[in-house]
Amino acid sequence: QVPLVESGGGSVQAGGSLRLSCAVSGLTYSSYCMAWFRQAPGREREGVAAVAGDGTTSYADSVKGRFTISQENGDGIVYLQMNSLKPDDTAMYYCAADAYISFSAYRRGCSGGLSSSNRRYWGQGTQVTVSP
């Protein structure tokens, strides 16, 4: 069973918008430290956006001002609103998370960084294609 399930991908023209969703499935932790990553063909996976335990957000420079990540208090659902999409945004988008047994542990431990090394759980991805 895949622990994270993404949805909302699709094909749009440049300048359009998409909203990605990711929901935890089958896990029974208290809180989740969640982020979005993407990988285009022939390129390395990169961090796109993340939420920290104190509610602050982090973004890759390439998406700042265009993408917005949202998650409520460590809940097991995270969204990525993507506006002003560009062809360079074309990629498979993955949701990733680490899990905590208490909200206080989540607040202390979730740093919200864009590194993939501390993300234990991953979804299967949703494709985003942006045409010129």
For the chain, percent of residues with pLDDT exceeding 90: 93
120 pLDDT tier (thresholds 50, 70, 90): very high
Tens digit of each residue's pLDDT (9 = 90 or more) over 65-119:
999 999 999 999 999 999 999 999 999 999 999 999 999 999 999 999 998 877 8
Examine the pLDDT at 17 and tell me if it is beyond 80. yes
CA distance 33 to 25: 14
Burial class from Cβ neighbours inside 10 Å (0-12, 13-18, 19+) for residue 8 reads middle
pLDDT given for residue 66 in this prediction: 98
8 pLDDT tier (thresholds 50, 70, 90): very high
Cβ contacts of 68 within 8 Å, gap of 6 or more:
49, 57, 80, 81, 83
